[in-house]
Amino acid sequence: MTFLDWIILLAMYAAIVVTVLATRGTMRGVSDYLAAGRSAGRYLLTISMGIAGLGAITVVANLEMGYEAGFALTWWGLTMALFQVVVMVTGWVTYRFRRTRALTLAEFFERRYSRRFRIFAGTVAFVAGIINFGIFPSVGTRFFIHYLGLPEVVHAGGLAVPLFPAIMAVLLATSVFFVFLGGQVAVMITNFIQGVFANVVFLVLAVYLVLLVGWDSVGEVLSRAPVGHSKINPFDTGFVENFNFQYFLIGVLGLFYGAMSWQGTQAYNSSARTAHEGKMGNVLGLWRQRTQDVFMTLVPILVFTVMHHQGWSTVADGVDGKLALIGNEAVRNQMRGPLVLAALLPPGLLGAFAALMLGAFVSTHSTYMHSWSSIFIQDVVLPFRNRPLSPRAHLTLLRSGVVLVAVFAFLFSLFYKQSQAILLFFALTGAIFAGWSGAVIIGGLYTRWGTTAAAWAASITGVTLALGGFILEQAQRAFRETGIPFWGMLDGLGTERAAAWAAYTRDHLPNGQQLWGLAMWLCLVVYVAVSLIQQAVRRRDFDLDRLLHRGAFRLEGEVEEGTLTVSRGWRMLGITDEFGRRDRILYLMTWGWNFAWVVVFAAGTAYFLTRPVENGDWSPWNPLWLGFWEVRTWIEIGLGMIVVVWFTWGGVRDVRRLLRDLRSADRDVHDDGIVGG
């Protein structure tokens, strides 16, 4: 790190701190703290939520995962493009949730089901969330130590100060400070600044690194993969057989079932100015992802090339030497990508990437601490009170929750030893809530006949299945590593029979995708069955119009006034009476872009499945696939440049409008997320 790099890093830190201080007076009520007064525009939403969901840990996780994946699996991801568009353009789940005006998901559960179910759901979401969040500070802090080349211990005045806990404490304290001063208002505006900066740096780094490493070097290294393990040709991988109709069906179901299930960025679900504005923000998110996706796909492959190409052996040897000093294997895998980037990037870009990661760290931590602490206070603590709090006492309690979450994350990161990939840890902890919540959310928003008993039955089923799957997976891993015949020992089976049972379960237990699919289907069936049985005994429909503020319950300013006459044909594309002319153009562009890639996928798959291949040798097709990936990469980079300019302009306008509306808005002291308050 040169002086220039440190200036860039410190400038990013100073910019977000000054921004928070400059806007601190705009947060003056509970709804401001929880949802930015429900005043956010579409561009502000999509950029802020994008960086909030990204985070330093996500960058590290994708560098770790993409190192081995290559381009091949990206091809199969194109199958989901059209279904992603359907979810976004229809505003599936998110539009109706915003119409409820609930400030947390569990508040909606109380309005739709019961207060006890709110407390249960809030507790499960909070526990799963903070455990999931527990490793965030550790991974981010270790990135800075290794990327910046900092020592483990600093000696000052005769004292040996370990840097890991010190840096982690400073970064967590910064995030707490942001949430304290401005709640969701401060979180959203600082995330916008960091998001714009990150989008620019992602594109600059992608262009610089691909020109530095060279596409020829990429092709030379990736082409050396053995038969069945290609990183270029998706039809020459050992994973193709897993991408069957069952896998595809589960993925499609997950897009619809899992909408809004994960609550790490839950405040954004309530922050939109209107439900329509929130839906448009989600659609814009499909375009905003271009800048992030090109970096997440391309850069890990470039890192892999550097570590395996003879021309970069000096860099690879230096990185291997530093990795050898890291005792934890999981941490070594996480730090490989950052160390390669530290060796490749020149002054200026080295500091820019560090500043990007600083912004990503602070944005995600402030967002997640705001989310989990709000869920804990709003959905677990306050429902037990019979008397409402004053707005001042309510805000004080919400802020105390932030401190508790920060202290837990600090201690968890300090003492927990990572033993598995980051994304695997995310999946295991996230499934405890997300495995069942989809059935309860969809049933509550889209049916009049869904019942409280059905919500309880589905949630208990999902939690039991997720925990059972986790225990079976851990027991299975223990048997593989130790050879101890865990299975069958509890019922007195002999060693041979226990070993046979262990082998059987190893081969027949569902994988992660199948277990997820099983949880979704089972919870849906349980929810529907219990609801219909109850309705058959005693017909009692729920008043959705009241919940969604429709008809006689419509609220002023909650529905956009469109400028177009919408026919049935346009409605099939998700275009409603709330649309203006620009909204319709954006929808047509979104449909066209994604449908074009689906056509490319369908045509390419049909073509290559009909090609004759001798002895499984696909190598003659490697040049064609390399050319395809190169063209796609530059198309994505070019589109990303347009998106950065477009979204930055729109986001600045949304920030100005947000601040203006918050300064002039009349606060309702009863708008605090307490049902019946």
* pLDDT(455) > 60: yes
Burial class of residue 3, CB neighbours in 10 A (0-12, 13-18, 19+): exposed
Q: Is 78 helix (H, G, I), strand (E, B) or coil?
A: helix
- The percentage of the chain sitting over the pLDDT mark of 90, rounded to a whole number, equals 39
pLDDT in tens, 363-410: 889 999 999 999 999 999 999 887 888 889 999 999 999 999 999 999
- What is the model's pTM? 0.87
Q: What is the pLDDT of residue 555?
A: 86
Place of tokens 């909606």: 108
What backbone phi and psi angles, to 5 degrees, belong to 421?
-65, 150
Beta bridge partners of 137: none
Band (pLDDT 50/70/90 cuts) for residue 621 is: confident
Smallest CA-to-CA distance from 458 within 519, 517, 523, 516 is with 523
Mean pLDDT throughout 39-55? 89
Q: What is the pLDDT of residue 580?
A: 85
Band (pLDDT 50/70/90 cuts) for residue 241 is: very low
Q: Do 34 and 104 contact (CB within 8 A), yes or no?
A: yes
- Mean residue pLDDT of the chain comes to 84
Q: What is the pLDDT of residue 355?
A: 92
Mean pLDDT throughout 539-551? 90
Smallest CA-to-CA distance from 263 within 120, 381, 359, 369 is with 369
Q: What is the pLDDT of residue 514?
A: 66
Q: What is the pLDDT of residue 246?
A: 58
pLDDT in tens, 252-289: 788 888 888 888 889 999 999 999 999 999 999 989 88
Cα–Cα distance, 423 to 196 (Å, whole number): 25
* Residue 654 C-alpha from the chain's centroid: 23
Q: What is the pLDDT of residue 22?
A: 85
- The percentage of the chain sitting over the pLDDT mark of 70, rounded to a whole number, equals 86
pLDDT in tens, 77-113: 777 777 888 888 888 999 999 999 999 999 999 999 9
Q: What is the pLDDT of residue 381?
A: 93
Q: Do 35 and 636 contact (CB within 8 A), yes or no?
A: no
Band (pLDDT 50/70/90 cuts) for residue 479 is: low
> Angle CA(173)–CA(179)–CA(180) in degrees, nearest 5?
85
Q: At what angle do helices 42-69 and 163-213 cross, to 10 degrees?
A: 80
Cα–Cα distance, 556 to 90 (Å, whole number): 23
Cα–Cα distance, 596 to 598 (Å, whole number): 5
Residue-wise DSSP of 170-237: HHHHHHHHHHHHHHHHHHHHHHHHHHHHHHHHHHHHHHHHHHHH-HHHHHHHHTTSPTTB-SS-TTSB
Q: Do 350 and 205 contact (CB within 8 A), yes or no?
A: no
- Rounded alpha-carbon distances, angstroms, from residue 378 to 51, 107, 120, 400: 25, 8, 12, 12
Q: Do 274 and 559 contact (CB within 8 A), yes or no?
A: yes
In our burial notation (b when 16+ CB lie closer than 10 A, e otherwise), range 586-601 reads bbeebbeebeeebeeb
| Of 570 and 623, more confident | 623
Cα–Cα distance, 188 to 206 (Å, whole number): 26
Cα–Cα distance, 185 to 20 (Å, whole number): 9
End-to-end CA distance of the chain: 54
Mean pLDDT throughout 127-138? 85
Mean pLDDT throughout 244-251? 60
Smallest CA-to-CA distance from 625 within 298, 230, 81 is with 230
Cα–Cα distance, 91 to 259 (Å, whole number): 10
Q: Is 159 helix (H, G, I), strand (E, B) or coil?
A: strand
* pLDDT(449) > 90: yes
Q: Is 557 left (phi over 0), alpha (psi -120 to 50) or beta?
A: left
pLDDT in tens, 459-468: 999 988 877 7
Q: How many helices (H) and strands (E) does the chain have?
A: 25, 2
Mean pLDDT throughout 534-547? 89
- Rounded alpha-carbon distances, angstroms, from residue 59 to 233, 330, 353: 25, 15, 11
Q: Which two tokens stand for residue 176?
A: 């707490």
Cα–Cα distance, 42 to 219 (Å, whole number): 40
- Rounded alpha-carbon distances, angstroms, from residue 203 to 74, 245, 470: 19, 35, 38
Band (pLDDT 50/70/90 cuts) for residue 512 is: low
* pLDDT(486) > 60: no
| Of 161 and 142, more confident | 142
Q: Which domains does the chain have, with CATH numbers?
A: 3-249+264-416+619-656 (1.20.1730.10), 420-546 (no CATH)
Beta bridge partners of 40: 272
- Residue type, position 573, single letter: L
Sign, Cα dihedral of 116, 120, 123, 125: negative
Sign, Cα dihedral of 529, 530, 536, 541: negative
| Of 104 and 570, more confident | 104
Looking at 426-430, 459-463, 565-569, which range is the least confident one? Answer: 426-430
Residue-wise DSSP of 284-347: HHHHHHHHHHHHHHHHHHHHHHHHH-GGGHHHHHHHHHHHTT---HHHHHHHHHHHHHHHHPPT
Cα–Cα distance, 531 to 504 (Å, whole number): 37
Q: What is the pLDDT of residue 97?
A: 94
Place of tokens 């330093």: 56
* pLDDT(487) > 50: no
Q: What is the pLDDT of residue 45?
A: 94
Most confident of the following: 55-64, 486-495, 653-662:
653-662
Q: Do 57 and 293 contact (CB within 8 A), yes or no?
A: no
